[in-house]
Amino acid sequence: MIGRWGLPALAVLGLAGCAGAAAMPSAGSPAPAGGYLAYVVSESADRVARIRFGADGARVERSFEVGTRPTEIDGPHGVAASPDGRYVYVTIGHGTPFGSLWKITTSNDSVVSRVTLGDFPATVDISPDGQYGFISNFNLHGDMIPSSVSKVHLPTMAEVARTTTCVMPHGSRVNPQGTLQYSACMMDDLLVEIDAGTGHVARRFSVAPGKEGPAQVAAAGHQHHTSHSMPASSAAKVCSPTWAQPSADGSRVYVACNKTAEILEVDARSWTVSRRFATGEAPYNLATTSDGRYLLVTLKNRKEPGTEVIDLAAGRTVSRIPASTVLPHGVAVTLDSRFAVVSVEGVGSEPGRVDVLDLRSLRRVGSVEVGQQAGGIAVVAER
């Protein structure tokens, strides 16, 4: 039997023999001689691509299929890499009826294990020690009811808890300290903070226009917004948050408001909005550089698709780097803050793409084709 966030007995016995994660390179580490490594999933092709990239562009080293249903799309959506670079973890959105999380080696792309989760597992992130994965069960095709965040013990691939949060949770991210997990609720206009140790919802924050502020956590698991007055002009507006991204030091959380084209900076201590950043149309995914300098924002649209670069010290956008095609999706940054890789979905039968962005020159230096509807993307630590 599993407690709220306790491990099953076999998993507890196995913890004593688990080696610690390998040390991660610092932001000042030299670039790897062979370039950097990333994995990207293509949701409409059931494929995962391994990409080598750097200042000279990008190339697909190899790709492989995932999924268990040969006649249907299984829909890989999210991907995260273990801190030691040995594994990548891929969420499979569709199933019979539920989706799953797959553990795959980076040495030969073999599937080690998988675990069934909720309805349409989407974004996945890993704790800094590599022990736990946090996955938002987006519930894409289900009723508009509160869904959940799963916690998986990665060495044993056991789901040790599932915490109900809100309607359509997305953008699961763990703070650098490994103590808190954040996700955004697209249909509830909420930012949700989970205590990574206890699994309880610690706090909620309303990101609804005109109502920004702490939201109560009801005993029954439903949220009640605070009684902030809402201007009549804001009554029809919604934030529709698609991502929650902690800052490099964990002191701030950035929330992408997809409908109002802005990023909210929430102070993690005072639980208030500290700044706002206007963006281009449809901000979608976010990433921060490990040196704390930039916040990167993908603009998932067809008119001006690209990646916006916000200088956090200056508090303003310093560049908008055009994408190679339409509908930019995910973004990941190398540990030395030197490059970013952006997945771009494309439309219809058009191949997806991965764009390489040089964060010194603030320009695109490469692009490579992958499978249709490129989605989740992750940079892998060199071993």
- Confidence at residue 29, expressed as pLDDT on a 0 to 100 scale: 62
* pLDDT for residue 203 is more than 70: yes
Q: Which residues contact 141 (CB under 8 A, 6 or more apart)?
A: 119, 120
Q: Which residues contact 108 (CB under 8 A, 6 or more apart)?
A: none
Per-residue pLDDT, averaged over 181-201, amounts to: 95
d(CA 195, CA 188): 20
Per-residue pLDDT, averaged over 218-226, amounts to: 44
> Is the distance from CB of 145 to CB of 187 less than 8 angstroms?
no
- Confidence at residue 110, expressed as pLDDT on a 0 to 100 scale: 95
- Confidence at residue 216, expressed as pLDDT on a 0 to 100 scale: 80
Among 150, 145, 160, CA closest to 118: 150
Q: Which of 333 and 34 is assigned the larger pLDDT?
A: 333
* pLDDT for residue 2 is more than 60: no
d(CA 315, CA 338): 20
Longest Cα separation, the chain: 59
- Confidence at residue 27, expressed as pLDDT on a 0 to 100 scale: 53
Q: Which CATH number fits domain 36-221+236-380: 2.130.10.10, 3.40.640.10, 1.10.40.30, 3.20.20.70?
A: 2.130.10.10
d(CA 366, CA 222): 46
Q: Which residues of 244-279 are buried (b: 16+ CB within 10 A; e: fewer)?
A: bbbbbeeebbbbbbbbbbbbbbbebeebeeeeebeb
- Confidence at residue 3, expressed as pLDDT on a 0 to 100 scale: 35
Q: Which of 67 and 106 is assigned the larger pLDDT?
A: 106
> Is the distance from CB of 153 to CB of 11 less than 8 angstroms?
yes
- Confidence at residue 236, expressed as pLDDT on a 0 to 100 scale: 65
- Confidence at residue 217, expressed as pLDDT on a 0 to 100 scale: 63
Of the listed ranges 11-20, 65-74, 315-324, the least confidently predicted one is 11-20
- Confidence at residue 233, expressed as pLDDT on a 0 to 100 scale: 45
* pLDDT for residue 251 is more than 70: yes
Q: Domain residues of the chain, as ranges?
A: 36-221+236-380
Among 263, 244, 262, CA closest to 253: 244
